[in-house]
Amino acid sequence: MKTNAARLLDRLGIAYELREYEVDREELGAEHVARKVGMPAEQVFKTLVARGERTGVLFAVVAGDTELDLKALAQLSGDRRVEMVPLKEVQPLTGYVRGGVTALACKKPYPAFVDETLELFDRVAVSAGVRGTQILLAPADYLRATDGRVGAIARQKGRDGL
Protein backbone atom coordinates (compact mmCIF):
# COMPACT_ATOMS: atom_id res chain seq x y z
CA MET A 1 0.00 0.00 0.00
CA LYS A 2 1.41 3.40 -0.98
CA THR A 3 1.08 5.93 1.81
CA ASN A 4 1.67 9.68 1.75
CA ALA A 5 5.02 9.01 3.44
CA ALA A 6 6.01 6.62 0.62
CA ARG A 7 4.84 9.12 -2.00
CA LEU A 8 7.04 11.79 -0.40
CA LEU A 9 10.05 9.47 -0.58
CA ASP A 10 9.22 8.74 -4.24
CA ARG A 11 9.14 12.48 -5.01
CA LEU A 12 12.52 12.91 -3.30
CA GLY A 13 14.03 9.98 -5.20
CA ILE A 14 14.74 8.09 -1.96
CA ALA A 15 15.01 4.30 -2.08
CA TYR A 16 12.97 2.42 0.53
CA GLU A 17 11.18 -0.83 1.23
CA LEU A 18 7.66 -1.16 2.60
CA ARG A 19 7.26 -3.97 5.11
CA GLU A 20 3.71 -4.86 6.09
CA TYR A 21 2.72 -6.77 9.22
CA GLU A 22 -0.47 -7.89 10.93
CA VAL A 23 -1.65 -5.28 13.42
CA ASP A 24 -2.46 -6.27 16.97
CA ARG A 25 -4.60 -3.38 18.23
CA GLU A 26 -3.86 -4.39 21.83
CA GLU A 27 -0.10 -4.05 21.29
CA LEU A 28 1.03 -1.09 19.17
CA GLY A 29 4.44 -0.58 20.81
CA ALA A 30 7.63 -0.32 18.78
CA GLU A 31 9.19 -3.43 20.32
CA HIS A 32 6.17 -5.49 19.26
CA VAL A 33 6.30 -3.97 15.76
CA ALA A 34 10.01 -4.78 15.56
CA ARG A 35 9.28 -8.46 16.19
CA LYS A 36 6.54 -8.39 13.55
CA VAL A 37 8.85 -6.94 10.87
CA GLY A 38 11.82 -9.10 11.87
CA MET A 39 14.17 -6.34 12.99
CA PRO A 40 15.87 -5.56 16.30
CA ALA A 41 13.96 -2.99 18.37
CA GLU A 42 16.96 -0.64 18.31
CA GLN A 43 16.54 -0.32 14.51
CA VAL A 44 12.80 0.37 14.59
CA PHE A 45 12.22 4.02 15.44
CA LYS A 46 9.03 5.36 16.97
CA THR A 47 7.78 8.87 16.31
CA LEU A 48 6.40 10.71 19.32
CA VAL A 49 4.56 14.03 19.32
CA ALA A 50 5.57 16.65 21.87
CA ARG A 51 5.18 20.37 22.41
CA GLY A 52 7.77 22.91 23.52
CA GLU A 53 6.89 26.32 24.88
CA ARG A 54 9.02 27.98 22.16
CA THR A 55 9.07 25.44 19.33
CA GLY A 56 5.44 24.39 19.57
CA VAL A 57 4.52 20.96 18.21
CA LEU A 58 7.50 18.80 17.30
CA PHE A 59 8.40 15.20 16.58
CA ALA A 60 10.79 13.16 18.69
CA VAL A 61 12.11 10.05 16.95
CA VAL A 62 13.72 7.42 19.18
CA ALA A 63 14.61 3.74 18.95
CA GLY A 64 11.93 1.25 19.93
CA ASP A 65 13.90 -0.08 22.88
CA THR A 66 14.40 3.36 24.47
CA GLU A 67 12.40 6.12 26.12
CA LEU A 68 12.31 9.77 25.22
CA ASP A 69 14.32 12.03 27.53
CA LEU A 70 12.17 15.18 27.69
CA LYS A 71 14.95 17.27 29.26
CA ALA A 72 17.37 16.33 26.48
CA LEU A 73 14.71 17.04 23.84
CA ALA A 74 14.07 20.47 25.37
CA GLN A 75 17.77 21.27 25.24
CA LEU A 76 18.13 20.11 21.62
CA SER A 77 14.99 21.95 20.48
CA GLY A 78 15.88 25.19 22.27
CA ASP A 79 12.92 24.94 24.64
CA ARG A 80 13.01 25.36 28.39
CA ARG A 81 10.40 22.63 28.75
CA VAL A 82 8.85 20.00 26.51
CA GLU A 83 5.86 17.80 27.25
CA MET A 84 4.14 15.00 25.42
CA VAL A 85 1.04 15.95 23.45
CA PRO A 86 -2.09 14.22 24.80
CA LEU A 87 -3.10 11.25 22.64
CA LYS A 88 -6.44 12.85 21.74
CA GLU A 89 -4.52 15.70 20.03
CA VAL A 90 -2.14 13.53 17.99
CA GLN A 91 -4.44 12.76 15.04
CA PRO A 92 -5.84 16.31 14.67
CA LEU A 93 -2.29 17.72 14.72
CA THR A 94 -0.53 15.17 12.52
CA GLY A 95 -3.22 13.39 10.50
CA TYR A 96 -1.93 10.08 11.88
CA VAL A 97 -3.28 7.68 14.52
CA ARG A 98 -1.28 6.12 17.35
CA GLY A 99 0.80 3.33 15.89
CA GLY A 100 0.99 5.10 12.54
CA VAL A 101 2.61 8.44 13.38
CA THR A 102 5.50 9.49 11.18
CA ALA A 103 7.39 12.73 10.56
CA LEU A 104 7.16 11.97 6.83
CA ALA A 105 4.39 13.80 4.93
CA CYS A 106 2.69 14.99 8.08
CA LYS A 107 -0.39 17.23 7.99
CA LYS A 108 1.87 20.19 8.88
CA PRO A 109 5.69 20.43 8.67
CA TYR A 110 6.63 20.16 12.33
CA PRO A 111 10.33 20.01 13.22
CA ALA A 112 11.77 16.54 13.80
CA PHE A 113 14.39 15.79 16.45
CA VAL A 114 16.00 12.38 16.01
CA ASP A 115 18.05 10.39 18.49
CA GLU A 116 21.65 10.01 17.41
CA THR A 117 21.49 6.20 17.53
CA LEU A 118 19.66 6.33 14.17
CA GLU A 119 23.02 6.93 12.50
CA LEU A 120 24.49 3.67 13.83
CA PHE A 121 22.64 1.56 11.26
CA ASP A 122 22.66 1.01 7.50
CA ARG A 123 18.85 0.75 7.50
CA VAL A 124 16.15 1.69 9.97
CA ALA A 125 12.39 1.28 10.07
CA VAL A 126 9.84 4.02 10.73
CA SER A 127 6.09 4.07 10.43
CA ALA A 128 4.76 4.49 6.91
CA GLY A 129 1.89 6.61 8.21
CA VAL A 130 -0.54 3.75 8.84
CA ARG A 131 -0.70 0.91 11.30
CA GLY A 132 0.62 -2.27 9.76
CA THR A 133 3.32 -0.85 7.47
CA GLN A 134 6.88 0.19 8.17
CA ILE A 135 9.26 1.98 5.81
CA LEU A 136 12.83 0.68 5.76
CA LEU A 137 15.40 3.18 4.53
CA ALA A 138 18.87 4.56 5.07
CA PRO A 139 19.18 6.91 8.07
CA ALA A 140 20.70 9.70 5.97
CA ASP A 141 17.71 9.53 3.62
CA TYR A 142 15.27 9.68 6.53
CA LEU A 143 17.05 12.73 7.92
CA ARG A 144 16.99 14.40 4.52
CA ALA A 145 13.27 13.69 4.04
CA THR A 146 12.33 14.99 7.49
CA ASP A 147 14.98 17.71 7.76
CA GLY A 148 15.65 16.03 11.10
CA ARG A 149 18.02 17.42 13.69
CA VAL A 150 20.12 14.76 15.41
CA GLY A 151 21.05 14.63 19.09
CA ALA A 152 20.99 12.48 22.22
CA ILE A 153 17.30 12.52 23.18
CA ALA A 154 16.73 8.94 24.36
CA ARG A 155 17.65 6.85 27.36
CA GLN A 156 17.38 3.18 28.11
CA LYS A 157 13.99 2.17 29.48
CA GLY A 158 13.74 2.16 33.24
CA ARG A 159 16.24 4.96 33.85
CA ASP A 160 14.83 8.03 35.53
CA GLY A 161 17.16 10.45 33.77
CA LEU A 162 18.54 11.93 37.01
- pLDDT by residue, tens only, the chain of 162 residues: 789 999 999 999 999 999 999 998 777 788 889 999 999 999 999 999 999 999 999 999 999 999 999 999 999 999 999 999 999 999 999 999 999 999 999 999 999 999 999 999 999 999 999 999 999 999 999 999 999 999 999 998 875 544
Task: Supply the pLDDT for residue 4.
Answer: 95
The radius of gyration of the chain's CA atoms, rounded to the nearest angstrom, is 14
Task: Supply the pLDDT for residue 159.
Answer: 57
What's the CATH fold of domain 4-156? YbaK protein (3.90.960)
34-55 pLDDT per residue, tens: 999 999 999 999 999 999 999 9
Alpha carbon distance 30, 47 (integer Å): 10
Report DSSP state, residue 148. Answer: P
Give the containing element (helix H, strand E) for 33: helix 30-37
Task: Supply the pLDDT for residue 64.
Answer: 95
Task: Supply the pLDDT for residue 129.
Answer: 96
Task: Supply the pLDDT for residue 28.
Answer: 72
* Phi, psi of 154, rounded to the nearest 5 degrees: -125, 160
Task: Supply the pLDDT for residue 162.
Answer: 42
